[in-house]
Amino acid sequence: MENNNLFLNASCRALIIGSSGAIGGALVDNLKKTVGPKNVVTLSRTENGLDFMNPETISVCSRQQDGLFNLIVDATGALRIDNVGPEKSLSMVEYETMLAQFKVNTIGPALLIKNFMKFLPRKGKVVFATLSARVGSIEDNRLGGWISYRASKAGLNQIVKTASIEASRKNPHSVFLAIHPGTVLSKLTEPYLGNKSFVVPDEAAKNILRVIEQIDHSDTGGFFSFDGSKVPY
């Protein structure tokens, strides 16, 4: 029997941006089981030409949408761009590399929020979630390195926080949050796993959706880990 008290039920319409990626694809698969296939809309570079290096594609994709979404998940992001990985020290920082990281991990998601937050209803619980990374936490940075990626994700967290304030003025029950999905096995992370523990995309998706189900407006603007705990900015 359907539990209508759950946010993720048959009345919830969801948009997954970045659906061709490992986590995005797993989110789509899991949501189809909970809210139903007809209530899951996908958007990606592969299917729709969405490309953060070409910002006009973001507004084009937004104009192609029809109707409102109770849940929007931005599952985009990149650690390695144009075959260039994260820096080990400040001496390795290059202008073009850092700019690319910000285009993909900060500016792109900011433009997604700008163009897609209008599709969130103005009453009831609505969620806009974006994938961040724990290394974007300034307070939790104890190892250094990964300068461009860290900074781009820290910037993303600030954008989510700022968007949450603006969204609350239109819908006091809206929730904007950044989620650290953990270390997820994918083409993006495989070269950097080493001896680290990791989860497969399906498990990561289930964790993300569990966090989304449990949070409410009092958590809006927050940065959360996959286990539901808060991550310091």
Q: What is the pLDDT of residues 59-106, one digit of tens each?
A: 999 999 999 999 999 999 999 999 898 999 999 999 999 999 999 999
**8-state DSSP, 90:** G
Q: Let me know how long the chain is.
A: 233
Task: Quote the pLDDT of residue 184.
Answer: 86
In a domain, 3, yes or no: no
Separation CA 117–CA 174 (nearest Å): 10
Task: Quote the pLDDT of residue 1.
Answer: 34
Phi, psi of 14 (to 5 degrees): -125, 145
In a domain, 49, yes or no: yes
Selection from 178, 223, 186, 219 nearest residue 202 by Cα: 186
Separation CA 35–CA 14 (nearest Å): 8
Give pLDDT tens digits for 160-216: 999 999 999 999 999 999 999 998 877 666 666 666 777 899 999 999 999 999 999
| Total domain count, the chain | 1
In a domain, 196, yes or no: yes
Whether the Cβ atoms of residue 164 and residue 209 lie closer than 8 Å to each other: no
The range of the structural domain enclosing residue 198 comes to 14-225
Give pLDDT tens digits for 35-52: 999 999 999 999 999 999
User: Structure tokens of 72?
Assistant: 């929007």
Phi, psi of 151 (to 5 degrees): -65, -40
Q: pTM above the 0.75 mark?
A: yes
In a domain, 53, yes or no: yes
In a domain, 168, yes or no: yes
- Helix 108-116 crosses helix 56-63 at what angle (to 10 degrees)? 30
Give the mean pLDDT of the chain: 94
In a domain, 64, yes or no: yes
Per-residue CA distances from 212 to 21, 35, 129, 202 (Å) = 19, 14, 8, 15
Task: Quote the pLDDT of residue 186.
Answer: 74
- The label of the residue with tokens 């929020």 reads 113
In a domain, 232, yes or no: no
Task: Quote the pLDDT of residue 111.
Answer: 98
pLDDT at 2 over 60: no
The CATH number of the domain holding residue 139 is 3.40.50.720
